[in-house]
Amino acid sequence: MWAMTYSTTRHRHGRYDMPTWLFQGSPKDFPAFDNYLRNYAEISWHVRQKRAAEEIYPDDEVYIWRLEGNHPGTGGIVAHGILTTEARVIPDEGKKSWVRHQPGPTIPSVDITLDDVRLTPDEGCLTRADLLEDAVLWNMHVVQSPHLTNYKLTSEEEERVATLWRAAKR
């Protein structure tokens, strides 16, 4: 008898491979970074990597990574949300004005509904230092080479980040 096997990855809207993303931002480029995350449940983010823009769909999970900027020890995963749009080029209408260096007019953006913002270790953020000590996450692309804006997590990274994020909730 033939048996069908299913992947253990999430399945929504007919997609079996539901990636989890990590979007990075820098307080150097965006001085109001923390305020933006803390004060808005609906945010926009640029998608600078063409491949990422082609693979992003509504309902994908996303974590927000804050670079340390001029404040050592503050970098790491500080928020979680769900993508609500595909990557698309839209008129500015104030959505891109929060960054110091405006992207070109062909850089797409996505909208994100934030459901959990943790800006400090006391609130349960996952610091870069913590991730460097983790046996799975120490080698994440964003930890070792933080030069991109959008990162697609591997399934192993996705599971480990989700586990640590749940465990760190205060």
Q: What is the DSSP string of 87-138?
A: -B----TTTTTTSSSPPPTT--EEEEEEEEE--SGGGT-EEHHHHHTSTTTT
**Model-level pTM?**
0.84
Would you give per-residue pLDDT tens digits along the chain (170 residues)? 333 322 334 444 444 568 999 999 988 878 889 999 999 999 999 898 888 999 999 999 999 999 987 788 889 999 999 999 999 987 655 554 455 556 677 889 999 999 999 999 999 999 999 999 999 998 888 887 777 888 999 999 999 999 999 999 87
Residue 17: the pLDDT is 65
**Structural domain spans, the chain:** 20-88+107-168
Residue 105: the pLDDT is 72
Residue range 20-88+107-168 forms a domain whose CATH class is alpha beta
